[in-house]
Amino acid sequence: MAQRKRYFYKRDKRMRLVPKIVIALLAATGLASPVAADANQVSLLNWGEYIDPVTIDRFQTETGTKIIMDTYGEADEAEARLIARGTGYDLAVVSMETVGRIIQAGAIQKIDVNVIPNAAGVDQELLDVFLQSMPSAEGYVLPYLWGTTGIVYDLKSVAERIPNAPTDSWALVFDPENAAKLADCGITIVDSVEEVLAAALVYLGSDPHTQADNEIDAALELIAAIAPYVRSFGSNQNDELTHGEICLAIAWSTDGLTPLLGAQRERYRYILPKEGTNLWADVFVVPSDVASVEPSYQLIDYILRPDMMALATLYTFGNNAVPASSAAIDDPNFDLPALAFPHDMQVPLYFVKPRDGHEKRALDRRWRRLQIGH
């Protein structure tokens, strides 16, 4: 595959400067998003740069229905907009870990898969794995893309600074001595408190879903100990990696695999640490206040077509949930094990289970204080 001329941003940073309270207020007044004005429009809320423009163009041409797109940059933003209601969205793609709170708020409705023919092509085993972490989501979601959270590192830079580096372990970054040695070439950590906290917990031998205050405190103290050596907590690591600006990142697979699928395949490695790591998923949900579910279901059904899901994987490097799409992914670069559902992997994998609103807000406050201290 030729080097890509664009860089995929699963977590687009454009909205990060907007305080969440402002987002919620805008959503409540209907100003945070375009509203589908008639039956020939469908309004979609999605991560930035998370759907191939070809899919949008073909849908509009084949159906005569125009897609009104609105994007966000952090999972919390989508959650706040949906819970605020009245935004006019017909369909949204959200992080699985937010779904429980959105359901609890009554902001989304169940999806009738019987009227979405292509839902039958979704990998049921994969969906079952998703739902094991959140049984309450059954009937409310259909998977779009999924991936893992791991470590991507520069082979040469790490070897020069840490001979015999523990490149199969979270110790590569969570051990302060290692982090200090890599500080000069650049470390970044994905800005996702629940996922990074879970990684620190499993590194310390704790349950990633623990609610024990002493274990959570220990994990946050571990992250705080390496924070002085971290260049940034952000979401544009694929760009930084591609330009050689950093040598190690805790990253989503969609970012961490980007340079491996391009011209720098031999420079970097993406690993799932032996202590365990999380699977993440982005799913379709239908807001509870849609005027009609027909446009929502029409768009879901179209995107779940195997050829459209193949485009989604090629465009985003995200794993998709439709096995039949693999026949349309004719690209030798897409042969990495990390792009396949890890049925038989030795690394323990888990989904980050959602914390309730109070717990999440408390974690967010501590996470931001940690970053400010950095």
Q: By CB neighbour count within 10 A (0-12 exposed, 13-18 middle, 19+ buried), where does 89 fall?
A: buried
252 or 160: whose pLDDT is higher?
A: 160
In DSSP notation, 122-147 reads S-HHHHHHHHHH-GGGTTT-EEEEEE
What's the pLDDT band for 296 if we cut at 50, 70, 90? Answer: very high
Q: Residue 240: what pLDDT?
A: 87
Q: Which two tokens stand for residue 161?
A: 């600074």
How would you classify the pairing of strands 142-154 and 232-234?
unpaired
Overall average pLDDT of the 345-363 stretch: 81
- Please, what's the b/e burial string for 113-134 (b: 16 or more CB within 10 A of its CB; e: otherwise)? beebebbebbbeebbebbbebb
Overall average pLDDT of the 118-134 stretch: 88
What's the pLDDT band for 137 if we cut at 50, 70, 90? Answer: very high
- Domain ranges (residues) in the chain: 13-146+280-338, 148-278+352-373
Q: Residue 30: what pLDDT?
A: 44
What's the pLDDT band for 10 if we cut at 50, 70, 90? Answer: very low
| Alpha helix positions (H), the chain | 20-28, 53-63, 75-84, 96-104, 124-133, 155-161, 171-174, 176-182, 193-203, 213-226, 237-242, 253-256, 294-303, 306-316, 357-373
The answer to whether the beta carbons of residues 236 and 175 sit under 8 Å apart is no
The CA distance from 291 to 370, in Å, is 43
**Global confidence as pTM:** 0.77
Overall average pLDDT of the 76-96 stretch: 94
**In angstroms, what CA-CA distances link 237 with 115, 189, 278, 353?**
39, 8, 18, 25
Q: Residue 330: what pLDDT?
A: 76
Q: Going by C-beta distance under 8 Å and a sequence separation of 6 or more, which residues neighbour residue 218?
A: 204, 206
260 or 146: whose pLDDT is higher?
A: 146
The CA distance from 74 to 11, in Å, is 6
79 is in an annotated binding site: no
- For all residues of the chain together, what is the average pLDDT? 85
Q: What is the DSSP letter of 188?
A: E
What's the pLDDT band for 38 if we cut at 50, 70, 90? Answer: low
- Tokens 């917990």 -> residue: 201
| 328 HSE (CA, 13 A, CB side) | 16
- CATH number for 13-146+280-338 (one of 3.40.190.10, 3.40.80.10, 1.10.730.10, 3.40.50.300): it is 3.40.190.10
- Residue 334 CB coordination number (10 Å): 17
Overall average pLDDT of the 239-265 stretch: 81
Q: Residue 253: what pLDDT?
A: 86
Overall average pLDDT of the 82-95 stretch: 94
The answer to whether the beta carbons of residues 109 and 288 sit under 8 Å apart is yes
Q: Which of 18-22, 135-139, 285-289, 326-330 comes out lowest in average pLDDT?
A: 18-22
Asked whether this chain's domains 13-146+280-338 and 148-278+352-373 adopt the same fold, the reply is yes
Overall average pLDDT of the 157-169 stretch: 97
Overall average pLDDT of the 281-303 stretch: 97
291 or 1: whose pLDDT is higher?
A: 291
For the chain, what is the largest distance between any 2 Cα atoms, rounded to a whole number of angstroms?
A: 62
The answer to whether the beta carbons of residues 33 and 43 sit under 8 Å apart is yes
pLDDT for residue 335 is more than 70: no
Q: Residue 344: what pLDDT?
A: 55
Overall average pLDDT of the 261-278 stretch: 85
How would you classify the pairing of strands 277-287 and 142-154?
antiparallel
Q: Residue 11: what pLDDT?
A: 37
Q: Going by C-beta distance under 8 Å and a sequence separation of 6 or more, which residues neighbour residue 368?
A: none
- CATH number for 148-278+352-373 (one of 3.90.1310.10, 2.60.40.10, 3.30.565.10, 3.40.190.10): it is 3.40.190.10
